[in-house]
Amino acid sequence: MTRELYSIKNHAEDEVKKAGSLQAIQHLKVKYLGKKGVFTEKIKSLKSIPQEERPEYGRILNEIKNHIEALLKTEESQYKSSEMERVLQTQSIDVTIPGSYVPIGHLHPTTKVLNEIIDIFTSLGFQVEEGAEIESDYYNFEALNMPKDHPARDMQDTFYINDDLVLRTHTSPVQIHVMEKYTPPLRVVAPGKVYRCDADVSHIPMFQQLEGFMVDDHISMSDLKGVLEVFLHNVFGPMTSIRFRPSFFPFTEPSAEVDISCVICKGSGCNVCKNTGWVEILGAGMINPRVFELAGYDPDRYTGFAFGLGIERITMLKYGINDIRLFLENDKRFLEQF
């Protein structure tokens, strides 16, 4: 009778020894000590043991059960602690290792400069308006005093979508949209992308402009000069000299090309200013009465100035960049410098 118990003991010891994992040990616990486990069944069947053998049998059974139970317990805690060690070793955090670097992006240089420019004008009370990049022939040309056969259209290498629609060649059409929408006084800047079929070191087919204009009862050329002076001194520094050169645009009269003293050589002459000491920075003028007429404003009552500048050009001068194409190449070695 007890021989069977000893063979169960031997078999159980053998199985524990060969278990090899925490999972296998837990499995053996159920097998031997669980509700329907080997020892539980044996205890249940004690009553079928002849009365005179029962105490001895029970004692041995109990002894063996306790022995296996203790054995399983030590094995279980051993597997548990070595598992813990393994987890600690493979998953522990070494707080002395430097953190991993997450690169952070930043704004494109032209966006930075544009934001800076908009800040200056909004601080002077200008509001920001935007127009569409696809414009009708009327708003891009006709309403700006450039009829179909006007030679000034040749100055702007236009991308035509069809006979009537173009990719806007400048932001000046926003002047017309704004005048049709609001009555004076107007103080507006209109930034946006414009398109011209042209490409070299100083031209790209898509670039950004900012249009600015002011319309009211008594706006004069000195208002234009004052506003541009505040703006240019803010961007290029208070020592920058500014000069107006007579020019021509169909939508302004008189018109001017505005230059600043060369930001690279400070006026002494270099290859950026082609040894003149001056660099051209924007086009401007007094809004042509004909434009007011076409937009439905009374040209006898209102006067106004307008100017248009290239954001890439300002950014190039501000940072000493010599090739406009760099702005579109997305070369990180270039972009990371700003």
Write out the residues near ligand PHE by the rule CB under 6 A: 170, 172, 211, 249, 252, 283-285, 306-308
Instruction: Pick the closer one to ligand PHE by CB: 26 or 247.
Output: 247
Closest separation between CB of residue 172 and ligand PHE, Å?
4
Minimum gap (Å) between residue 118 Cβ and ligand PHE: 17
Instruction: Find tokens 């302004």 and name the residue.
Output: 252
User: Which residues, in sequence order, are bridge partners of residue 261?
Assistant: 278
Q: Which residues contact 1 (CB under 8 A, 6 or more apart)?
A: 49, 53, 57
State how far the Cα of 254 lies from the Cα of 115, in Å rounded to an integer: 29
Q: Measured from the CB atom, is 32 or 213 closer to ligand PHE?
A: 213
CB nearer to ligand PHE: pick between 144 and 326? 144
**What CA–CA distance (Å, rounded) separates 274 from 320?**
14
Q: Which is nearer to ligand PHE, 9 or 170 (CB)?
A: 170
Closest-CA residue to 71 (of 112, 14, 21): 14
Taking the complex as a whole, how short is the minimal distance between the CB of residue 337 and ligand PHE, in angstroms?
28
293-312: string of b/e by CB count within 10 Å (b at 16+)? ebbebeeeebbbbbbbbbbb
The number of angstroms, rounded, from the C-alpha of 230 to the middle of its chain's C-alpha atoms is 31
Least CB distance from residue 98 to ligand PHE, whole Å?
Answer: 51
From 230, 225, 226, select the one nearest 244 (Cα to Cα).
Answer: 225
Other Cβ atoms within 10 Å of 289 Cβ, number: 17
Nearer to ligand PHE, 109 or 283 (CB): 283
Q: Which residue is nearest to ligand PHE (CB)?
A: 308
Angle at 219 between CA 286 and CA 294, to 5 degrees: 55
Report the residue number, 214 or 284, with the smaller CB distance to ligand PHE.
Answer: 284
DSSP assignments along 209-257, one per residue: EEEEEEEETT--HHHHHHHHHHHHHHHH-TT--EEEEEEEETTEEEEEE
What is the nearest approach in angstroms of ligand PHE to the Cβ of residue 269? 26
Query: Minimum Å distance from CB 336 to ligand PHE?
Result: 31
Based on CB atoms, which residue is closest to ligand PHE, 39 or 213? 213
Q: How far is the CB of 209 from ligand PHE (least distance, A)?
A: 6
**Is 42 or 170 the residue whose CB approaches ligand PHE more closely?**
170
Q: b/e per residue, 30-53, with b = 16+ CB within 10 A?
A: eebeeeebbbeebeeeeeebeeee
Structure tokens at 46: 């004690």
Tell me the closest approach of the beta carbon of residue 204 to ligand PHE, in angstroms. Answer: 14
Distance CA 187, CA 301 (A): 17
